[in-house]
């Protein structure tokens, strides 16, 4: 567990110190740091549990089909990726290089973090603090939900076109994200939210309405799980989107709304700030609307860049030193909450450079489909 905490602390120290310096950090230094975090995730040995095993098993099936000369749009591709062909194509392209699942996860993870790093650097003046917010809200999920975390990064690439009101370019990238994970379709809604600084009373009225709809179960009527079908293991997750009342969604939403309320006068009225303000509000609204659905937290990831932009803009002001420290402590709490809940899946940290396996034994016994990896991680390079 301590290695994860150390990674967070190092990032936090760098992020806080960057506020004291003028100018922007070198893109090369920051890019190298983000890719190092991505490598930390990518070289882990099936940490994250059953999701990694399932994605790896599907990758193996696709890679084998292509190597047998069955073409790209083969039976296995249509079986698993008919609804999410962009993710399927990513599997195929990496499968042309190697059928090894560890290399697949490593390359795929570096791709995700490269996209994140580009977005953090382009959209914020303090990219290390942007990374810190990301780590508190999404870091551990990059070990597991491979499709949706990549889809989130693709959605973030579309945001400048939302700001510039370039509808077709924005929708084209959202379409690509949707073909990576179907839940990204919800981001079409963002384009039709006007760029304006709403009265906070109006904001809260809408949020309470969304919470009311969520409480009566309207949000639960929508399913954005994007589940693949075809392997018997996938049936275990068919009901993953069903959940009771998720109080943590509501609490998290209102905490971020309170932070926004406390600093609302600092939000500028230019197009860029207003576009990310809408995304911030969409993050909070999704959590409230899906408060009785297990999908809510994952769907809200598309709005994380709104939090990153707005909170970073506020914290860069010299008068907000106390807010920086408060946010850092709060972000660590969010980070540790997931780490503590997922310790059985994440600890001890182990890379794929050593033999054997890690994580809970029952997960290995149920989902391991190729025991050759236990002896030699690179037997099928």
The predicted pLDDT at position 228 comes to 53
280, 306 Cβ separation under 8 angstroms = yes
- Backbone region of residue 46 per phi and psi (left: phi > 0; alpha: psi in -120 to 50; beta: other values): left
The predicted pLDDT at position 232 comes to 44
- Residue 225's contacts (CB-CB under 8 Å, 6 or more residues apart) are 183, 237, 240, 241, 295
* Spans of all domains in the chain: 2-12+24-371
Average pLDDT in the chain:
90
CA 255 to mean position of chain CA atoms: 20
The predicted pLDDT at position 192 comes to 93
Angle at 38 between CA 32 and CA 39, to 5 degrees: 85
Range 259-264 contact pairs with CB under 8 angstroms and sequence separation of 24 or more: 259/311, 259/327, 260/310, 261/200, 263/314, 263/320, 263/323, 264/200
Can you tell me the distance from the alpha carbon of 198 to that of 272, in angstroms, rounded to the nearest whole number?
15
What is the phi/psi pair of residue 242, to 5°?
-85, 135
Positions in the chain whose pLDDT score sits under 70: 220-243
Can you tell me the distance from the alpha carbon of 79 to that of 234, in angstroms, rounded to the nearest whole number?
13
364-373 pLDDT, tens digit per residue, is 889 999 999 9
The predicted pLDDT at position 234 comes to 44
The owner of tokens 């973090």 is 113
What's the sign of the alpha-carbon dihedral 11, 13, 14, 19? positive
The predicted pLDDT at position 223 comes to 60
The predicted pLDDT at position 293 comes to 82
The predicted pLDDT at position 272 comes to 95
220, 293 Cβ separation under 8 angstroms = yes
Predicted TM-score (pTM) of this structure: 0.92
Largest CA distance in the chain: 63
Our separate counts of H helices and E strands in the chain read 20, 0
The predicted pLDDT at position 231 comes to 46
Termini Cα distance of the chain: 31
182-211 pLDDT, tens digit per residue, is 999 999 999 999 999 999 999 999 999 999
């Amino acid at each position: 567990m301590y290695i994860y905490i150390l990674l967070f602390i190092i990032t936090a120290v760098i992020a806080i110190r960057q506020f004291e310096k003028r100018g922007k950090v070198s893109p090369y230094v920051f890019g190298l740091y983000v890719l190092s975090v991505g490598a930390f995730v990518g070289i882990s040995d099936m940490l994250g549990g059953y999701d990694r095993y399932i994605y790896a098993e599907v990758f193996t099936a696709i890679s084998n089909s292509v190597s047998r000369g069955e073409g790209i749009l083969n039976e296995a591709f249509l079986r698993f990726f008919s609804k999410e062909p962009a993710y399927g194509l990513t599997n195929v392209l990496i499968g042309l290089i190697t059928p090894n699942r560890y290399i697949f996860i490593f390359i795929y993870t570096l791709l995700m973090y490269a996209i994140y790093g580009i977005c953090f650097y382009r959209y914020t003046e303090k990219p290390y603090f942007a990374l810190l917010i990301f780590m508190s809200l999404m870091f551990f999920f990059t070990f597991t939900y491979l499709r949706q975390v990549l889809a989130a990064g693709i959605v973030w690439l579309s945001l400048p076109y939302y700001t510039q009101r370039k509808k077709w370019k924005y929708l084209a990238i959202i379409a690509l994200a949707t073909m990576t994970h179907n839940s990204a379709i919800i981001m079409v809604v963002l384009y039709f939210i006007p760029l304006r600084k709403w009265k906070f009373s109006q904001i809260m009225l809408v949020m309470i309405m969304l919470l009311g709809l969520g409480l009566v179960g309207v949000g639960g009527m929508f399913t954005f799980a994007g589940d693949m079908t075809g392997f018997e293991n996938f049936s275990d997750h068919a009901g993953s989107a069903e959940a009771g009342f998720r109080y943590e969604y509501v609490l998290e939403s209102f905490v971020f709304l309170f932070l926004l309320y406390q600093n609302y006068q600092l939000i500028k009225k230019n197009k860029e700030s207003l576009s990310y303000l809408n995304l911030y509000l969409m993050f909070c609204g999704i959590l409230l609307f899906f408060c009785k659905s297990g999908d809510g937290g994952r769907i809200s990831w598309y709005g994380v860049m709104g939090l990153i932009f707005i909170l970073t803009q506020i914290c860069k002001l010299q008068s907000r030193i106390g807010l920086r420290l408060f946010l850092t402590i709060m972000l660590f709490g969010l980070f540790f909450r997931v780490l503590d809940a997922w310790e059985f899946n994440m600890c001890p940290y182990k890379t794929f450079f050593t033999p054997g396996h890690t994580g809970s034994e029952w997960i290995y016994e149920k989902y391991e489909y190729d025991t050759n990896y236990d002896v030699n991680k690179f037997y099928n390079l």
